[in-house]
Chain A
Amino acid sequence: MFSLESFLDVQLVWFALIVTALFLYVLLDGFDLGVGILFPFAPSDECRDRMMNSIAPFWDGNETWLVLSGGGLFAAFPLAYAILMPALYMPVILMLLGLIFRGVAFEFRFKAVKSRFIWDYAFHFGSIVAAFMQGVFLGAFVRGIHVEGRSFAGQPFDWLNAYSFMTGVALLFGYALLGSTWLMMKTDGITGDWARKCASYVLGYVGVFMAIVSISMPVMNEGVRELWFTLPNFYYLVPVPIVTAALIILIWRDLHRGCENRPFFFSIGVFLMGYLGLGISLWPWLVPFAVTFRQAAAAASSQSFLLVGTLVILPVILTYVGYCYYIFRGKVSHEGYY
């Protein structure tokens, strides 16, 4: 049977691909969920139109990275998919419902006249629910999943606790930071100024929550503590929090100096550092702390079959996704495109 195993660590490649796809999802849908989180607080309806126009051509493509993360997990690590989805049953369903309401709001809002406010709220609360639930995944994930044999063996509400609630709120602020810095880049005038205020308001919260998560993880888990606080690991890993802090300071300075584009990319940097820190702490678990990515891996032939196509297609995808962002570059107006 066809396999690339002999000259490539296919399992590791797939792990890297899925981690990357998920990160792209968090970034890309992060900024448009963030726009949804901030939506009703904008100063006027015209601002809201502008906010919507800034993400309307992209949201669908952004959400596709979530489908790729989920589909890729199913394809490459079916065991992890089969354990995590039942374990996170309720938050997954709630996230999906949130995504439904915010997704249809894009189209319905442009068509509605009198009922537009309903879809504005559907967009807002849909975004909040989806973002919060994704934060809850994070909390539930780092607390560990109860597994027996090849299935989830915990209770329906295992995912719900103070910690996961906290990470849910944390991600709301994180996405709001991405959303507001995105708006600074894509809009000007009143909307741009307001986005700048939002960004400086949420930035502090983002810093605080990142500190809480960073400190709590080694406190809660001995393995994580050993990983970070033994020598020489400590020296290799200590740049992660330092760079994060530096980036937050840079964003703060830019916000007060009038830079329009840089804060968005620095915010991406903050997310990258946070993600990196989590990744290091949770390595090599795919279902913490029960199943590693190697244990969850699909058959070599399955992973190889999909990998061949992925390596060809993914660069093409990245090219045309980039092309679409290029076409819709620059500041947006409040008028409908079509």
Chain B
Amino acid sequence: MHSIVLILSTLVKSFSGDSQAMIENLDSVLLSRIQFAFTLSFHIFFPAFTIGLASWLAVLEWRLLATGNTVYGVIYRMWVKIFAVTFGMGVVSGVVMSFQFGTNWSVFADKAGNILGPLLGYEVLTSFFLEASFLGIMLFGWNRVDRRIHFAATVIVAAGTLISAFWILSANSWMQTPRGFRIGENGLLYPTDWMQIVFNPSFPFRFVHMVTAAYLTTAFAAGGVGAFYLLRGRHVREGRVILGMAMIMAVFVAPLQLLFGDLHGLNTFSNQPAKVAAIEGLWETRRGAPLILFGWPDQAEEKTKYAVEIPKLSSLILTHDFNGEVRGLKEWPKDQRPPVLWVFWSFRAMVGLGTLMILTGLTALVLYIRKRLFDVRWFQYWCMAMIPAGFAAVLAGWFVTEIGRQPYIIQGVMRTTEAVSPVKALPIAISLGAFILTYAVVFGAGSYYIMKLIRKGPETEAEVYGSHGVKEPPLITGIVSEKE
């Protein structure tokens, strides 16, 4: 999961206060930003889904081995196919990310390579090989390895996704809160303390927040599918298990995410106050700052229009004091402010979706206590409507954190405009067009095949073996004598 570096809006020109530094290489910078934002936004869907899915598959297989209840096996085999499609798309879009630091941000790669290179190197070594190798066993190894080894392969893949998240979020967090380095006379950055680099101040918060987000994304995506089966009266046994497990996540983890997000926000408040000011839509530094629920931040006029406010709440949340001081955007020169509108609204989208998730969990809890969780139709429709919620929230969250870091690529150290490769605008425009076209085709086809797998639903026991070309449960003797 290469959720590194900047996501930048297509409308950066009109919203960014960064125009002055963008005179040179304007087109290359803008096009590279759009390309990176596009390929990254596309890519982040897949890790967000596969991190949660891998862990869930591990839990399913664990339940299967522990209880011997075949329903877990049936669900596993259905979702492992969806996992394979998603993972495949994640891999190919991820390879793209690992090359774009060089193709489009070569000055950044040169200057920050001493620090970010090893972090990404560790990601490849400790995670990518693990995932790629054991995924083969997970998908194709049913008839070839012992079931405990198969379970181990699933657990290893799940662990691999988390290890990957660890390194890439460490790298991204370092760009948000750089520590443990010095700037050499030649302008290159040199490491001075690896512990400070890896465990930089925002990293623990971002890691917990993102992994939890991935788990919730998967829970709501899967839960909606379970609800769909119940609604149609198909695969009812599996549907109940899927929806039930998803709602356990919604009840317990969604509220926790609110807490994690809040802690992450407080961490940002002390490390990147300009980002928080943009989130809040606050222009003037003041004590007893209000919480602006909605409004229209105007970068040029330096105010948030049509604001609906709750007095003093912002100060209370951020400083735990009704009259605490919150710094406004005017504290920073115009060319050091992020594009406020994007940060402001992405944040509200994320929080709004998170709130809906918590409410879904509470509703599920009430229905469960009344013993009606699996037969209330409107709730099934609601769960289906919530399928994209996690994906949208993850994307919105990354918009907040990445656009909120602008105009810097490394907070306070290096500007995004200084990072771009010496590549002409035309090749970038061509490559951007090619990526958009390719991803539209790949994403369209991938979604189509996933829908198809979902519509088809889990296979019953007999069909499962039949689809392998094996007419009965595989036995050791059968495998040994297996011929084409």
Residues of A that sit less than 8 Å from B by CB: 1-2, 56-58, 60-61, 63-64, 66-68, 70-72, 74-76, 78-79, 81-86, 89-90, 92-93, 96-97, 99-101, 103-104, 106-108, 111-112, 150-153, 156, 188-189, 298-299, 301-302, 305-306, 309-310, 313-314, 317, 320-321, 323-324, 327-328, 331, 333-338
Which residues does chain A contribute within 8 Å of B136, judged by CB atoms? Answer: 56-58, 60-61, 324, 328
B152 to chain A, nearest CB (A): 11
Considering the chains assembled together, what is the distance between the CA atoms of A97 and B439 in angstroms? 9
| B304 close to A (CB within 8 Å) | no
Which residues does chain B contribute within 8 Å of A188, judged by CB atoms? Answer: 484
Considering the chains assembled together, what is the distance between the CA atoms of A81 and B449 in angstroms? 37
Q: Mark B255-281, 1 if CB is under 8 A from A, else 0.
A: 000000000000000000000000000
Given contacts A107-B85, A112-B449, contact A152 B422 (CB under 8 A): yes
Q: Mark B103-124, 1 if CB is under 8 A from A, else 0.
A: 1001101101111111011111
Contact B125 A68, beta carbon cutoff 8 Å: yes
Contact A71 B93, beta carbon cutoff 8 Å: no
Considering the chains assembled together, what is the distance between the CA atoms of A301 and B421 in angstroms? 26
5 A-B residue pairs with CB within 8 Å: A152-B421, A305-B191, A321-B133, A327-B144, A333-B483
Contact B124 A67, beta carbon cutoff 8 Å: yes
Chain A residue at minimum C-beta to C-beta distance from B192: A1
Contact B89 A104, beta carbon cutoff 8 Å: yes
Given contacts A68-B124, A302-B115, A306-B122, contact A151 B134 (CB under 8 A): no
Interface of B is mostly: helix
Contact of A60 among B77, B135, B190 (CB under 8 A): B135
Given contacts A1-B192, A74-B101, contact A317 B144 (CB under 8 A): no
Considering the chains assembled together, what is the distance between the CA atoms of A93 and B100 in angstroms? 9
Contact A338 B80, beta carbon cutoff 8 Å: yes
Contact B125 A309, beta carbon cutoff 8 Å: yes
Contact A334 B106, beta carbon cutoff 8 Å: no
| B128 close to A (CB within 8 Å) | yes
Beyond A108-B445, A302-B115, 12 additional contacts (C-beta under 8 Å) are A85-B102, A86-B423, A90-B430, A151-B110, A299-B114, A301-B194, A305-B191, A333-B482, A337-B140, A337-B142, A337-B143, A337-B468
Which residues does chain B contribute within 8 Å of A320, judged by CB atoms? Answer: 129-130, 133-134
Considering the chains assembled together, what is the distance between the CA atoms of A104 and B452 in angstroms? 16
Which residues does chain B contribute within 8 Å of A298, judged by CB atoms? Answer: 113-114, 117-118
Contact A70 B114, beta carbon cutoff 8 Å: no
Which residues does chain A contribute within 8 Å of B135, judged by CB atoms? Answer: 60
Considering the chains assembled together, what is the distance between the CA atoms of A74 and B452 in angstroms? 40
Contact B88 A92, beta carbon cutoff 8 Å: no
Contact A74 B113, beta carbon cutoff 8 Å: yes
Considering the chains assembled together, what is the distance between the CA atoms of A107 and B84 in angstroms? 7
Considering the chains assembled together, what is the distance between the CA atoms of A60 and B188 in angstroms? 35
Which residues does chain A contribute within 8 Å of B467, judged by CB atoms? Answer: 336
Contact A99 B95, beta carbon cutoff 8 Å: yes
Closest 10 A/B residue pairs (Cβ): A78-B113, A85-B102, A75-B117, A57-B136, A335-B469, A75-B121, A82-B110, A337-B140, A82-B106, A103-B92
A250 to chain B, nearest CB (A): 29
Considering the chains assembled together, what is the distance between the CA atoms of A82 and B187 in angstroms? 15
Contact B190 A301, beta carbon cutoff 8 Å: yes
Most chain B beta-carbon neighbours within 10 Å: one of A68, A301, A338: A338
Which residues does chain A contribute within 8 Å of B93, judged by CB atoms? Answer: 100
Contact A86 B132, beta carbon cutoff 8 Å: no
Considering the chains assembled together, what is the distance between the CA atoms of A75 and B120 in angstroms? 7
Interface of A is mostly: helix
Given contacts A63-B132, A68-B125, contact A305 B118 (CB under 8 A): yes
Considering the chains assembled together, what is the distance between the CA atoms of A310 and B95 in angstroms? 20
Given contacts A82-B109, A89-B421, A151-B422, contact A100 B484 (CB under 8 A): no
Contact of B446 among A66, A99, A104, A321 (CB under 8 A): A104
Contact A82 B113, beta carbon cutoff 8 Å: yes
Which residues does chain B contribute within 8 Å of A324, judged by CB atoms? Answer: 133-134, 136-137
B468 to chain A, nearest CB (A): 7
Q: Mark B57-71, 1 if CB is under 8 A from A, else 0.
A: 000000000000000
Contact A64 B129, beta carbon cutoff 8 Å: yes
Contact A302 B484, beta carbon cutoff 8 Å: no
Q: Which residues of B325-361 are within 8 A (CB) of A?
A: none
Considering the chains assembled together, what is the distance between the CA atoms of A56 and B92 in angstroms? 15
| B99 close to A (CB within 8 Å) | yes
Contact B95 A321, beta carbon cutoff 8 Å: no
Contact A111 B92, beta carbon cutoff 8 Å: no
Chain B residue at minimum C-beta to C-beta distance from A157: B427
Chain A residue at minimum C-beta to C-beta distance from B128: A64
| B235 close to A (CB within 8 Å) | no
Q: Which residues of B348-381 are within 8 A (CB) of A?
A: none
Considering the chains assembled together, what is the distance between the CA atoms of A266 and B239 in angstroms? 53
Contact A321 B129, beta carbon cutoff 8 Å: yes
Considering the chains assembled together, what is the distance between the CA atoms of A305 and B117 in angstroms? 11
Considering the chains assembled together, what is the distance between the CA atoms of A75 and B96 in angstroms? 17
B178 to chain A, nearest CB (A): 15
Given contacts A66-B95, A67-B128, contact A75 B118 (CB under 8 A): yes
Given contacts A111-B85, A302-B117, contact A81 B109 (CB under 8 A): yes
Contact of B99 among A72, A92, A321 (CB under 8 A): A92
Contact A89 B113, beta carbon cutoff 8 Å: no
Chain A residue at minimum C-beta to C-beta distance from B470: A335
Considering the chains assembled together, what is the distance between the CA atoms of A130 and B192 in angstroms? 39
Chain A residue at minimum C-beta to C-beta distance from B149: A327
A207 to chain B, nearest CB (A): 32
Considering the chains assembled together, what is the distance between the CA atoms of A224 and B243 in angstroms? 67
Contact of B92 among A70, A100, A306 (CB under 8 A): A100
Chain B residue at minimum C-beta to C-beta distance from A302: B114
Considering the chains assembled together, what is the distance between the CA atoms of A108 and B87 in angstroms? 12
Most chain B beta-carbon neighbours within 10 Å: one of A61, A76, A152, A321: A61
Q: Which residues of B150-189 are within 8 A (CB) of A?
A: 188
| B462 close to A (CB within 8 Å) | no
Contact A83 B106, beta carbon cutoff 8 Å: yes
Considering the chains assembled together, what is the distance between the CA atoms of A323 and B137 in angstroms? 10
B169 to chain A, nearest CB (A): 16
| B288 close to A (CB within 8 Å) | no
Contact A328 B144, beta carbon cutoff 8 Å: yes
Contact A74 B139, beta carbon cutoff 8 Å: no
Given contacts A1-B191, A86-B422, A96-B99, contact A151 B84 (CB under 8 A): no
| B434 close to A (CB within 8 Å) | yes
A24 to chain B, nearest CB (A): 11
| B431 close to A (CB within 8 Å) | yes
Considering the chains assembled together, what is the distance between the CA atoms of A90 and B430 in angstroms? 9
Considering the chains assembled together, what is the distance between the CA atoms of A314 and B125 in angstroms? 7
B455 to chain A, nearest CB (A): 12
Chain B residue at minimum C-beta to C-beta distance from A154: B422
| B14 close to A (CB within 8 Å) | no
Contact B95 A67, beta carbon cutoff 8 Å: yes
